[in-house]
Amino acid sequence: MVSKIIGTGSCPGDRVVANGDLAQIVETSDEWIYPRTGIKNRHLNTLSGTSGMAASAAKLACENGGIDPKELDLILLATSTPEYCFPNGACQVQEELGAVNAAAFDLSAACSGFIFALQTANSFIVSGSFKTILVIGADDLSKIIDWNDRKTCVLFGDGAGAAVVRASEEGVFSGIMKSDGSKGPVLSCLARSGGNFLTGKTPKMGYLSMDGQEVFKFAVKKVPECIEELLSGQGIRKEEIRYYILHQANERIIEAAARRLKEPMEKFPMNIREYGNTSAATVPILLDELNREGKLIRGDKLVLAGFGAGLTWGAAVLEW
């Protein structure tokens, strides 16, 4: 058995915020942001939490895949921004969908989350444990961003993307996941911590902080390396790949990855201009857009790749 994606859906944040809007709150400009990142707009979420966006994307994915949510065996939500420590966001999605037969849990791997969750789903499918799995990447990053920090606040947006994955007798699915915990401080956000009656301290919470240049160097090296390793390990030639759907963190990172892979930019679709970096949601939102635009043909081979805090990174190759 192998995983096949049978439906996709997405739900960006409800409010469009342009570069010029951010120039009203921090010292920045479209002239600084756009050439360095490729970002013009981001969509921030003002209506629902992470689970609300995740559930909206999930409903669309089920409709697109032609399945009743009751057919789902498992819901995997990749997120770094759940509304609650518990219940997990996946259980909230389960309730919204009425997916009464599914087990549900969250998975945390920051911007690599969807790639890690998809590979986790595939392992359950290959093992025969589950047949139909909903994989969601959703983040409400605007709630953990320091809106006074121009170095980070211009980069991110909110959103959710989902894919329904089903066991199939035929197809291709293979993946790689990597982590380097020694680089944790490069991109981090403190959760509620440090306070109980013994420490006498009040709990602390943090904002996202990042060493942008370190992340940039890491991404342009590790992402192409990992894709090369994946494809050569599977005996798949780059010419066979229809699209490389990479984490949308920075247009220049994607261009550098394309150069290193010696592949043409036409194979690297992008939507970062409109959404910015939505963390675990970038890859499934882009996948959903390509699907709905009719750009994916059954039999196409796709590479999906992500990178982010942890540090974590990974890639998967699959047949559409």
248 binds ligand COA (CB under 6 A): no
85 catalytic, yes or no?
Answer: no
Q: Evaluate whether 62 touches 9 at the Cβ level (below 8 Å).
A: yes
Closest by CA to 76, choosing from 296, 310, 280, is 280
Residues 269, 284, 308, 314: which binds ligand COA (CB under 6 A)? Answer: 308
Cβ 57 to ligand COA, closest distance in Å?
20
Nearer to ligand COA, 90 or 189 (CB): 189
277 binds ligand COA (CB under 6 A): yes
207 binds ligand COA (CB under 6 A): no
151 binds ligand COA (CB under 6 A): yes
Residues 2, 34, 36, 143: which binds ligand COA (CB under 6 A)? Answer: 36
Tokens 């240049």 belong to which residue? 213
250 binds ligand COA (CB under 6 A): yes
Nearer to ligand COA, 32 or 105 (CB): 32
41 catalytic, yes or no?
Answer: no
CB atoms within 10 A of CB 221: 14
Which of these is catalytic: 62, 111, 189, 226?
111
48 binds ligand COA (CB under 6 A): no
User: Which string of b and e fits 127-147 if b means at least 16 CB within 10 Å?
Assistant: eeebbbbbbbbbbbbbebbee
Rounded CA separation 240/306 (Å): 20
150 binds ligand COA (CB under 6 A): yes
Residues 213, 235, 264, 266: which binds ligand COA (CB under 6 A)? Answer: 213
Residue 153 one-letter amino acid: C
How many Å from the N-terminal Cα to the C-terminal Cα in the chain? 15
Q: Evaluate whether 283 touches 247 at the Cβ level (below 8 Å).
A: yes
Measured in whole angstroms, how far is the alpha carbon of residue 84 from the centre of its chain?
Answer: 19
159 binds ligand COA (CB under 6 A): no
Q: Evaluate whether 112 touches 314 at the Cβ level (below 8 Å).
A: yes
Closest by CA to 15, choosing from 171, 146, 142, is 142
Residues 55, 78, 99, 154: which binds ligand COA (CB under 6 A)? Answer: 154
111 catalytic, yes or no?
Answer: yes
- Residues marked active site are found at 111, 247, 277
Binding site for ligand COA (CB under 6 A): 28, 32-33, 36-37, 111, 150-151, 154, 210, 212-213, 215-216, 249-250, 277, 308
